[in-house]
A and B are shown apart, each in its own frame.
Chain A
Amino acid sequence: MSPITLGILAASGAATVGSYELISTTTLSSTAASVTFTGLGTAAAAYKHLQLRVTSMPVATGATIWVQFNGDTASNYNHHYLYGQGSTVYSGNGATANGTLIGGVAGFGNTIFMAGVMDILDFQSTSKFKTTRTLAGSSTEIDLSSGLWRSTSAITSMTIYWTGTSIAAGSRFSLYGLRG
């Protein structure tokens, strides 16, 4: 059968209000210890859920990448993960102060940008703990993880960081709001 080639429908989208909207984005021009999205109580007030899209690399090898909420650095987080590195599938869990896990369970290298997409559900709810689900990986590791922030506070800020090292220049962090 002959292959089928089809063209693009739209070269660019019209700037209209929709259900999936960009709140904020940043691409680092130099290394940074962390990236924080603030003011979500106002900037993200119209949304039900958030999605964080990340391409990043640690300065030092072997790091994992995490998200903390509202500046909470106490042990109020849980996570579970499933990951593969090309030979075996591993599973594990933790309850740490690090935050909710984006990826790098066995440690990402510092020569390849990893990618991660994290959904933060019901982030404004004041009656629920906050749950996250993430698919992340590079060409050396694939991670599925779920996370929990044991707080009923609405999320007003998010801090993303690599354990024990800085974020490399060129890393990109984009936050989206989903209406519900």
Chain B
Amino acid sequence: MALTDAMVALYSTTLAAATSSVTIAGIPTTGYRDLRLVVSFNSSTVGNTTVGVRVNGDTAANYYNVYMLGNGSTTASGSENNTFLYGSYIGAGSTGSPYISTMDIMDYSVTDKHKSMLARNNDSSQVVTAYAGRWANTAAITSLTCVNFAGNYTVGSTFALYGIKA
């Protein structure tokens, strides 16, 4: 039996200043197969906006997403070709309560596949959302940028990245 500490913390921070984006750079491309990104944040502004993740600084329309959400009264699903992976959804009236987002990026270090993503977003006051996505590039992932398109991540927001061995 292979006894290997399979989930290793690679990065962790708590914001001391508000910012619109956080970049995790220098992600090792050996030793791990998957990544797990865990974010707990508040946003300075709200309004039916998605918080997303960009890979290796890619700002082009190389991301494909599908989502499914429920807001307590209705459900919805959509799909988009976009300039980022969907990570969280900020509802129209959701201030104060933190958003919890977890994202698994599979096979991030291999170079023969596009990169697949699964994510869950939880906003107890507004909406629960599940996402699947793909970064249409076979390059190994060396950086992730979490972008708040609504405004800023507030002070106290936390970002943690784990490497998972396989």
Give chain A's interface residues, CB within 8 Å of chain B.
Answer: 1-18, 20-25, 42-44, 53, 55, 82-89, 112-117, 135-142, 144, 170, 172, 174, 176
Contacts and interface: CB of A to CB of B under 8 A. Distances in A.
Contacts of A14: 5
Contact of B66 (A23, A86, A116): A86
B13 to A, nearest CB: 6
B66 A137 contact: yes
A89 B5 contact: no
Nearest to A14: B5
Given A1-B17, A3-B21, A55 B107 contact: yes
A180 B148 CA distance: 36
Given A22-B6, A24-B2, A85-B66, 6 more contacts: A20-B6, A22-B2, A84-B78, A85-B77, A113-B106, A142-B118
A42 B116 CA distance: 32
A53 B5 contact: no
Contacts of A43: 1
Interface string B143-157: 001000000100000
Contacts of A17: 3, 5
Interface stretch (B22-30, B45-53, B91-99): B22-30
Residue of B8, B64, B163 with highest tally of chain A CB at under 10 A: B8
A84 B8 contact: no
Contact of B8 (A10, A53, A83, A137): A10
B87 interface: no
Contact of B133 (A2, A10, A139): A139
Interface string B115-135: 011101000000000111110
